[in-house]
Amino acid sequence: MDMPPPELDPRRPIVEVMARIGRETQITLDEREHHFRITDTVIVVISILLIVLAVFNLYYVRVLYKDLDRIVGNMESMVTRLDQVDRDMGLVAGHVAAFQAHMQQMTPITGHVVQVTDRLPGMREDMSLMAESMRLINQDMAQLRQAVGTITPNMMQMTGNIARMRQDVRRIADPMGTFNPILP
């Protein structure tokens, strides 16, 4: 059988098209593999960055937990000290009241001094000045007692506010405590 020259062979265009399709397919596969390698590299780099970020986040959570724990401890100490101050202010108020009662007894003494001034005219001026001074001291003591009476409720209110703050910080710190077993 006589074979036509290769240029005239009717199968030749089909073979060339198939060869070109094969080359294009191989080029596409090579490009696809190259893009897959780039994508894999990007995924690995992002994963490493996320792991590093997670480690730093765990560290900061641990530091935050410790700081919140210290804050709660300081607030508890502050509440204890404010309670002691409140008790001390109560004692001071009691002493001021007792002193005020003693000062009230100065009024009869002043009356007796007036009688003495009738007998001893030279002492009258001195005793009048003393009576005025005692009256001023009496006023000052009354004002001091009022001031202490005002301070005591304020201290109690501060103690209550500190106790509420301590409870609020505990509420914030308790969720952090759940991370404590997994922290380094």
pLDDT 10s digits, 41-99: 999 999 999 999 999 999 999 999 999 999 999 989 988 998 898 899 889 888 888 88
| pTM more than 0.85 | no
Q: What is the dihedral of CA 11, 17, 19, 22, to 10 degrees?
A: -140
Distance CA 140, CA 137 (A): 5
b/e per residue 140-155 (b: at least 16 CB within 10 A): ebeeebeebeeeeeeb
pLDDT at position 12 is 84
Please enumerate in sequence order all residues whose Cβ is within 8 A of that of 148, keeping only pairs 6 or more positions apart, or say none: 89, 92, 93, 96
State the pLDDT at residue 169: 80
More confident residue, 126 or 123: 126
- Let me know: does 64 contact 182? Beta carbons within 8 Å: no
- Kindly indicate the confidence band of residue 142, based on its pLDDT and cuts at 50, 70 and 90: confident
